[in-house]
Amino acid sequence: MALAFDEFGRPFIILREQDQKTRLRGIDAQKANIAAGKAVARILRSSLGPKGMDKMLQGPDGDITITNDGATILEQMDVDNQIAKLMVELSRSQDYEIGDGTTGVVVLAGALLEQAERQLDRGIHPIRIAEGYEMASRVAVEHLERIAQKFEFDVNNFEPLVKTCTTTLSSKIVNRCKRSLAEIAVKAVLAVADLERRDVNLDLIKVEGKVGGKLEDTELIYGILVDKDMSHPQMPKHIEDAHIAILTCPFEPPKPKTKHKVDIDTVEKFQTLRKQEQQYFDEMVQKCKDVGATLVICQWGFDDEANHLLMHRNLPAVRWVGGVELELIAIATGGRIVPRFQELTPEKLGKAGVVREKSFGTTKERMLYIEHCANSKAVTIFIRGGNKMMIEETKRSIHDALCVARNLIRNKSIVYGGGSAEIACSLAVDAAADKYPGVEQYAIRAFAEALDSVPMALAENSGLQPIETLSAVKSQQIKENIPFYGIDCNDMGTNDMRKQDVFETLIGKQQQILLATQVVKMILKIDDVISNSEY
Amino acid sequence: MPIDRIFKDDANEEKGERARMASFVGAMAISDLVKSTLGPKGMDKILQSTGRGHSVTVTNDGATILKSLHIDNPAAKVLVDISKVQDDEVGDGTTSVVVLAGELLREAEKLVASKIHPMTIIAGYRMAAECARNALLKRVIDNKDNAEKFRQDLLKIAMTTLCSKILSQDKEHFAEMAVDAVFRLKGSTNLEAIQIIKKPGGSLKDSFLDEGFILDKKIGIGQPKRIENAKILVANTAMDTDKVKIYGARVRVDSMTKVAEIEGAEKEKMKDKVKKIIAHGINCFVNRQLIYNFPEELFADAGILAIEHADFEGIERLGLVTGGEIASTFDNPESVKLGHCKLIEEIMIGEDKLIHFSGCEMGQACSIVLRGASHHVLDEAERSLHDALCVLSQTVNDSRVLLGGGWPEMVMAKEVDELARKTAGKKSHAIEAFSRALVAIPTTIADNAGLDSAELVAQLRAEHHAEGCNAGIDVISGSVGDMEERGIYEAFKVKQAVLLSATEASEMILRVDEIITCAPRRREDRM
């Protein structure tokens, strides 16, 4: 019972205990938290690396997700434990920042927690462990910078970029055609990249999927794909050199925002109203026609009459296009989104070389391709695949690949993968540990050991002897003083990651280490867990 | 203190071997369920819905069976999904794809039990699938240039598809019908343009393909029942009360006389509209929406045939067939394209009156009238015909065909076997397993026909040892025969889709080493 006494000696209760609350304090709290964190990391451990396994997740509504993307697994897992939720957050923030390495970061954090537990048993104070970790992470990040390599590419020679994306994709189910998907991803990023400012806006890349066909049919479209068809079945399906009016006002009589009523009390009024109505439609269509539009894309619906008028005047139209898509179309075609018919001018029209409708499969599904746009800074990756889960997983994989390509354009430094960077860091941290005189030395050593767990997991998942392989690679790195030896996951016969072309971005790796350390520090600092016992 | 729960209460987690076991068992159960429907002598299933009325469906179509199952096993759901996709993409082979995926997993289970890592199995399966596909590509027959032969191919494919269905008795008749219908589409895959009308009564043999167009509607009373050289206006407009569309408009009057006046004005408006429509110089008017009695009467007076409430597809098809444009405004009659046809008449099928449009300008759409003893028969006949139409329309675009009757599987198995012998390493076990899974399909076909599958498959394998052999299982005579002679053909696209999606699905399931089931969302009990 947490009791305190005020200055008159009267007791008052700070925290009501017993029935309603359970409370863990001190070392128990830390142990419990570490156990929860480890449990989450254990689930992800087997998904790491090119030979990692997938997880099948059944959602609350019975829907199935099959994935090996760490962030997705954790997101869908629906965890209840507070510490486990922290790990989920960790993976998510890696996803937001970098987009790749979401599994690795959790595995690393799990290993750090495991090592921390051992240090706790030795009687080292959690704060000292946290401080030691902090120092070690600084050493590791600096070392990463030292072993990082510059990575050269330009728009005409994007082969190195493709190789990096291939590494990312090789751990996913899509690795059957990783090469073509990597090329698609790189081309997409290069198409929207601003190489001067070294910036890539991934919002400009739309990833669409449709069930059916095979993975090899996945294509990159220099333009926009809209999951809609023409509003009238008899409108032309193919428009060359389209001038597109992008509207956010419906082809319907206007609805003033203020509440109003039009009262009809005489026959004359009825008739004028009728005329007015016809005029409305006529004017609307005429206005579009006058500015020279050859295609209307509208966010809202059309009245039947307007629809026919459009068709009649040979003005193809698409209705119910979503807001995001509308924006993308506007960006791609260089048009402006027009909220009112009165404001339509020829300059505001977007331009596209070809607009065509394409149908798929045996069902009546059509999509609209808008290609050869005036401003080609928006592209679409159109994924085909055997089933829904496959498409979802491909979408996630492509997203990862896109992020990697973007990071490389932002920052050209890379480190070699296959666990080689972790091993190199571990060696550097281990060497640095001896220089610290305090208790932190132990924590720093523990950090080095935790770093080893990533290559260890890689080796385990690839069916190699983990301890044997790791020690062999480690000694090789020291002997030859080359930090590029890693785990040979693909059974290629060489440990040299430069030859295997396995690399990751420097910022990705650095971020992994920093984020994992931060979260572990946070967990270590908790010494009191108060929760409602009902849960 | 150990933390035992990181998930919510009802959630549950299965790991490693247990997870793999759960998915293998689930997938195999599904595959065994549909296995008995495979092949020309496959049996049907009765599906009873849990909904009101407990309606009953009798079917042999894999996708239909699986769609109506309530499944809890995640791996089984993957198989249901691939079957559904197969249905959407190519329309046929929905059973084969599930059976093949099930067999692949059955073989994989044995390999896992003998301590081969799933990733190795996947690598082997992939190589095998690629090799199998190439083997098929080498043996495809393409008769695209020869129109007469191509038609024969299509006929044979249709017959092969239909022979496993309820229509097998009259397969020549229906195959002829399906091929004719598909040729009318002129290469488009839009099956919406083929309308299937089901009328109980008569026998399946009485079903027919009509080159014209049949609309399941009645002609208004007092209007001509037969029009020659019809000019048709296809419309989508309100013919009940044409309400004012300006927002917020309403009628407010202060006396009875005014009500009458407004009513008069409304009537006048409708009359104007009808006049405008008549001014198009038409003698038939088809509307998607209702036509009230008043305008209907006006049409009847003008001697125009007015058809109301034709549904949306009906309108679209009619537009396609007659070449008319679907109109909603009627102010410029000179520029609206009207539809034409030679003859509109009311015909009787069974006891129902239908409207028949014949001699249309553009024959892109057509109708198939199915007759049969009961609704169940008709439903199943429709599904079968739909399968055949899907396959045919896909084949028109991709004209490569293969022989049927287990022939493709044996060809693939032979090549894959050879690959296994050439491959070093553990992968070769997986490749060998792949070939065994392929052979399971002809085995199942033979088993379902009550034949001695072991004997037949062994014989088949021996025959296939020779280069360029056309042997397959002839279920009708119960022996191994030359498939080219018997005219059993299948579309290449179907086989390829079966192969690829089955491999993909089994790979997906094999990769899983943990199943996490979330707590089911709590629903309010509405009972």
Separation CA A221–CA B390 (nearest Å): 28
- Lowest-pLDDT choice from A1-5, B337-341, B456-460: A1-5
Measured N-to-C along each axis, helices B453-464 and B427-448 cross at an angle, to the nearest 10 degrees, of 120
Residue among A56, A59, A262 whose CB faces B515 most closely: A56
Q: Is the pLDDT of residue A18 over 60?
A: no
Q: Is the pLDDT of residue A111 over 60?
A: yes
Q: Would the CB atoms of B508 and A66 count as touching at under 8 Å?
A: yes
Each residue of B305-330: pLDDT tens digit?
777 766 666 677 777 677 777 776 66
Each residue of B216-266: pLDDT tens digit?
777 766 677 777 777 777 777 766 665 666 666 666 777 777 778 777 777
Q: What pLDDT does B527 receive?
A: 45
Only one residue has tokens 């025969």, namely: B481
The answer to whether A102 is a known catalytic residue is yes
To 5 degrees, how large is the angle CA B416–CA B420–CA B423?
130
Separation CA B202–CA A223 (nearest Å): 54
Q: What pLDDT does B335 receive?
A: 67
Measured N-to-C along each axis, helices B171-184 and B375-397 cross at an angle, to the nearest 10 degrees, of 50
**Amino acid identity for residue B289 in this structure:** Q
Q: What is the mean pLDDT of residues B32-54?
A: 81
Q: Is the pLDDT of residue A36 over 80?
A: yes
Separation CA A390–CA A393 (nearest Å): 5
Q: Which residue has the higher pLDDT, B175 or A308?
A: B175
Separation CA A212–CA A385 (nearest Å): 5
Q: How many CB atoms lie within 10 A of CB A339?
A: 11
Average pLDDT value for chain A: 82
- Lowest-pLDDT choice from A156-165, A390-399, B377-386: A156-165
| B contact test, residue of A86, A114, A362 with most B CBs within 10 A | A362
**Amino acid identity for residue B400 in this structure:** R
Q: What is the mean pLDDT of residues A264-270?
A: 74
Q: Radius of gyration of chain B from Cα atoms?
A: 29
Q: Which residue has the higher pLDDT, A473 or B285?
A: A473
Q: What pLDDT does A348 receive?
A: 83
Compare all CA atoms of chain B with the CA of A309 and give the residue at the minimum distance: B329
Q: What pLDDT does B434 receive?
A: 93
Q: What is the mean pLDDT of residues A219-230?
A: 82
Token output for B65: 């069976």
Separation CA B329–CA B326 (nearest Å): 10
Separation CA A6–CA B186 (nearest Å): 93
Q: Collapse the DSSP code of B177 into the 3-class scheme (helix H, G, I; strand E, B; otherwise coil) and give the result.
A: helix
Separation CA A40–CA A248 (nearest Å): 47
Q: What pLDDT does A514 receive?
A: 92
**Amino acid identity for residue B437 in this structure:** A
Only one residue has tokens 């055997």, namely: A386
Which of the four pLDDT bands, split at 50, 70 and 90, describes residue A444? very high
Beta carbons of A89 and A79 less than 8 angstroms apart: no
**CA A349 distance to own-chain centroid:** 33
Q: What is the mean pLDDT of residues A484-497?
A: 80
Q: What pLDDT does A141 receive?
A: 92
pLDDT > 90: what percent of chain A? 10
B213-215 and B352-360 beta bridge pairing: antiparallel
Comparing C-alpha atoms, which of A248, A244, A250 is closest to residue A305? A250
Beta carbons of A496 and A83 less than 8 angstroms apart: no
Separation CA A387–CA B85 (nearest Å): 6
Q: What pLDDT does A426 receive?
A: 92
* Number of separate helices (H) and strands (E) present in chain A: 16, 20
**Amino acid identity for residue A90 in this structure:** L
Separation CA A172–CA A464 (nearest Å): 20
**Chain B residues touching A303 at Cβ < 8 A:** 245
Q: What pLDDT does B222 receive?
A: 67
Average pLDDT value for chain B: 80
Which of the four pLDDT bands, split at 50, 70 and 90, describes residue A32? confident
Comparing C-alpha atoms, which of B220, B269, B261, B224 is closest to residue B244? B269
B489-491 and B208-210 beta bridge pairing: unpaired
B 383-412 near A (Cβ less than 8 A): 390, 393-394
Beta carbons of A462 and A487 less than 8 angstroms apart: yes
Q: What is the mean pLDDT of residues B3-20?
A: 71
Q: Is the pLDDT of residue A41 over 70?
A: yes
Q: Collapse the DSSP code of A429 into the 3-class scheme (helix H, G, I; strand E, B; otherwise coil) and give the result.
A: helix
Q: pTM value?
A: 0.80
CA A200 to each of CA A156, A158, A507, B127: distance values in angstroms, whole numbers, following the listed order: 17, 16, 16, 37
Q: What pLDDT does B247 receive?
A: 62
Q: Is the pLDDT of residue A54 over 70?
A: yes
Of B59, B61, B322, B423, which one is the catalytic site residue? B61
Q: What is the mean pLDDT of residues B402-414?
A: 88
**CA A44 distance to own-chain centroid:** 18
CA B355 to each of CA B118, B220, B233, B327, B347: distance values in angstroms, whole numbers, following the listed order: 61, 11, 15, 21, 6
Q: What pLDDT does B102 receive?
A: 92
Q: Which residue has the higher pLDDT, B211 or B159?
A: B159
Q: Is the pLDDT of residue A17 over 60?
A: no
Beta carbons of A401 and A182 less than 8 angstroms apart: yes
Q: Which residue has the higher pLDDT, A307 or A435?
A: A435
Q: What is the mean pLDDT of residues B57-70?
A: 82
Give the contacts of A439 (CB within 8 A, at least 6 positions apart).
Answer: A124, A125, A128, A132
What are the φ and ψ backbone dihedral angles of A17, each rounded to 5 degrees? -110, -145
pLDDT > 90: what percent of chain B? 6
Which of the four pLDDT bands, split at 50, 70 and 90, describes residue B189? low
Q: Is the pLDDT of residue B156 over 80?
A: yes
Does B262 touch chain A if contact means CB atoms closer than 8 Å? yes
Of B37, B57, B59, B95, which one is the catalytic site residue? B95
Compare all CA atoms of chain B with the CA of A46 and give the residue at the minimum distance: B513
Q: What is the mean pLDDT of residues B163-176?
A: 79
Beta carbons of A478 and A38 less than 8 angstroms apart: no
Q: What is the mean pLDDT of residues B63-89?
A: 83
| A contact test, residue of B80, B191, B289, B328 with most A CBs within 10 A | B328
- Lowest-pLDDT choice from A203-212, A521-530, B320-329: B320-329
Separation CA B385–CA B387 (nearest Å): 5
B 287-326 near A (Cβ less than 8 A): 316, 319, 325-326
Q: Is the pLDDT of residue A55 over 70?
A: yes
| B contact test, residue of A47, A58, A258 with most B CBs within 10 A | A58
Q: What pLDDT does B525 receive?
A: 52
Q: Collapse the DSSP code of B424 into the 3-class scheme (helix H, G, I; strand E, B; otherwise coil) and give the result.
A: coil
Q: Is the pLDDT of residue A265 over 90?
A: no
Q: Can you say whether the dihedral through the CA atoms of B424, B429, B434, B436 is positive or negative? A: positive
Token output for A94: 């890696």
Q: What is the distance in angstroms between the Cα of B122 and the nearest Cα belonging to chain A?
A: 10
Separation CA B338–CA B282 (nearest Å): 8
Burial label for B297, CB within 10 Å (0-12, 13-18, 19+), is middle
Which of the four pLDDT bands, split at 50, 70 and 90, describes residue B1? very low
CA B340 to each of CA A150, A285, A425, A437, B290: distance values in angstroms, whole numbers, following the listed order: 72, 28, 81, 98, 23
Q: What is the mean pLDDT of residues A199-226?
A: 80
Q: Which residue has the higher pLDDT, A508 or B366?
A: A508
Q: Is the pLDDT of residue A73 over 90?
A: no
Q: What is the distance in angstroms between the Cα of B402 and the nearest Cα belonging to chain A?
A: 19
Does A275 touch chain B if contact means CB atoms closer than 8 Å? no
Q: What pLDDT does B3 receive?
A: 46
Compare all CA atoms of chain A with the CA of B329 and give the residue at the minimum distance: A305
Residues comprising chain B, all counted: 527
Which of the four pLDDT bands, split at 50, 70 and 90, describes residue A138? very high
Comparing C-alpha atoms, which of A74, A82, A75, A86 is closest to residue A42? A74
Each residue of A382-391: pLDDT tens digit?
888 767 778 8
Q: Which residue has the higher pLDDT, B478 or B134?
A: B134
The answer to whether A103 is a known catalytic residue is yes
Q: For chain A, how are helix, strand and coil distributed in percent, rounded to 5?
A: 50, 20, 30
Only one residue has tokens 């307007």, namely: A306
Q: What pLDDT does B244 receive?
A: 63
Does B197 touch chain A if contact means CB atoms closer than 8 Å? no
Each residue of B415-448: pLDDT tens digit?
999 999 998 888 889 999 999 999 998 898 888 8
Q: Would the CB atoms of B192 and A270 count as touching at under 8 Å?
A: no
What does the DSSP assignment read for A35-102? HHHHHHHHHHHTT-STTPPEEEEE-TTS-EEEE--HHHHHHHH-B--HHHHHHHHHHHHHHHHTSS-H
Comparing C-alpha atoms, which of A77, A95, A17, A132 is closest to residue A448? A132
Cβ-Cβ contacts under 8 Å between A and B: the total is: 242
